[in-house]
């Protein structure tokens, strides 16, 4: 009778270990999938940041500049009207900005415009730094998540502990 109970306890422990290990591996897999989906959305947004449509450069001429000096900020509050040409078509860009170096009427400036819609433009060249930083961080997080999940799959004992903790800590 004692031998039967010991055999039964041993089989029960093995089934419990297998079940807890499977549960730990399942949670690790689900975690990997969730993190991967979130990172995929983050990558999409970051790549959209990198692909700024205003990449084409044109030279514009300041046709109107009205600036008033603000003593409190030690800068000028300016309203500009800049005309530029794309494929022999005239576009006018109006901008209001606060600057330390205002443009004067007749100055030439670089305009960065969207080739699909030349009326969309900006004075500063496009900056892709934040998008590149986000892509780098997301790649590192994805690699660490994959390594962690691989480590859990390689070390079934950790999956067992994770599964047991889910059973006892969730109730």
Residue 9 lies in a domain: no
Would 139 be classed as within a structural domain?
A: yes
Q: Are residues 66 and 26 in the same domain?
A: no
Based on the fold, state whether residues 64 and 118 are members of the same structural domain. Answer: yes
> Is residue 70 one of the residues assigned to a domain?
yes
Q: What angle do CA 137, 150, 19 make, to 5 degrees?
A: 130
- Do 40 and 94 belong to one domain? no
Q: Please provide the average confidence, as pLDDT, over all residues in the chain.
A: 82
Q: Which domain holds residue 38?
A: 22-51+129-166
| Cα Rg of the chain, angstroms | 31
Split at pLDDT 50, 70, 90, the class of 147 is very high
- Give yes or no: residues 60 and 107 share one domain: yes
pLDDT at 168 over 70: no
Would 3 be classed as within a structural domain?
Answer: no
Answer whether residue 61 shows pLDDT above 80. Answer: yes
- The predicted pLDDT at position 131 comes to 85
* Long-range Cβ contact pairs of 28-33 (< 8 A, separation 24 or more): 28/148, 28/149, 28/152, 28/153, 28/159, 28/162, 29/149, 31/145, 31/149, 32/145, 32/146, 32/149
For residues 93 and 63, give the distance between their C-alpha atoms in angstroms, rounded to a whole number: 10
Residue 163 confidence (pLDDT): 73
Q: What is the domain count for the chain?
A: 2
Confidence class for position 159, pLDDT limits 50, 70, 90:
confident
Over residues 10-22, mean pLDDT: 80
Please tell me whether residues 91 and 116 are part of one structural domain: yes
- pLDDT value of position 98: 66
In a domain, 95, yes or no: yes
Q: Is the pLDDT of residue 111 over 90?
A: no
The pLDDT of residue 41: 93
CA gap 119, 4 in Å, rounded: 85
Return d(Cα 79, Cα 90) in angstroms, integer.
19
pTM for this predicted structure: 0.59
12 found inside a domain: no
Same domain, 92 and 138: no
Residue 81, in any domain of the structure = yes
Tell me if residue 36 falls in helix, strand or coil: helix
Within a domain: residue 94?
yes
Question: Is there a single domain that holds both residue 106 and residue 74?
Answer: yes
Domain co-membership, 108 together with 87: yes
* 35 and 91 belong to one structural domain: no
Query: Using an 8 Å Cβ cutoff, are 114 and 126 in contact?
Result: no
Shared-domain flag, residues 116 and 64? yes
């Amino acid at each position: 009778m004692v031998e039967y109970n010991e055999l039964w306890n041993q089989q029960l422990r093995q089934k419990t270990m297998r079940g807890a290990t499977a549960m730990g591996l399942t949670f690790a897999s689900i975690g990997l999938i969730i993190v991967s989906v979130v990172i995929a959305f983050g990558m999409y947004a970051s790549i959209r940041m990198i692909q700024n449509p205003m990449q084409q450069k044109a030279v514009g001429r300041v046709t109107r500049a009205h600036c008033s000096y603000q003593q409190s900020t030690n800068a000028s509050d300016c309203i500009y009207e800049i005309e530029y040409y794309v494929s022999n078509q005239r576009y006018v860009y109006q901008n209001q900005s606060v600057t330390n170096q205002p443009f004067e009427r007749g100055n030439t400036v670089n305009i960065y415009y969207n080739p699909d819609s030349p009326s969309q433009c900006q004075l500063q060249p496009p900056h892709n730094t934040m998008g590149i930083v986000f892509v780098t961080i997301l790649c590192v997080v994805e690699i660490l998540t994959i390594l962690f999940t691989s480590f859990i799959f390689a070390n079934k004992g950790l999956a067992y502990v994770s599964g047991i903790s889910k059973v006892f800590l969730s109730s």
